[in-house]
Amino acid sequence: MPESTAILSLGSNLGNRLLMLERAIRALRASGFSILDKSRVWETAPWGVTDQPRFLNMCLTASVDLNPEQMLETVKAIETSLGRTLCERWGPREIDIDIILLGDAVIDLPSLKVPHPLFHKRAFVLVPLTEIAPRIVHPLLKKTAAELLACLPKEQMNWIIKI
């Protein structure tokens, strides 16, 4: 299996949010994700369903020797092991790990879409992504993360800590 570079978005808005992000990073490392870079942790407003607690969000880059389906299976297993329960779409969650990009791959499977189909509309992904990879290009839209962020309305986000 050739090694690929993945961009992941992590978020939590239930329980000890910062601890959840730290535990997710440790679990990713233990599952074969070699973390290359991490953004700061940002406190953000909920997206989609707005009547819920604020999130802590971050992005990271990692090299990994898993194929996309194995990567998704691993990420979902980590979420479950950290206590994620099924919830309403875009609702509150203990931990959420999304695969945003896999190099310049375009994947369209029933269970996995890469690039993530909504990341270009979400400041909570683009702000931390731009922090660590401003020149990364969306393989379908052909715009950099920084260009995509510039297209969004300004949103109040506060960085919390670098973990």
Catalytic positions are 84, 93, 96, 98
d(CA 26, CA 35): 10
d(CA 55, CA 93): 9
Beta carbons of 4 and 63 less than 8 angstroms apart: yes
Q: What region does 48 belong to: left with phi over 0, alpha with psi -120 to 50, or beta?
A: left
Burial class (CB in 10 A: 0-12, 13-18, 19+), 70: middle
List of residues 6+ apart from 143 with CB closer than 8 A = 120, 137, 151
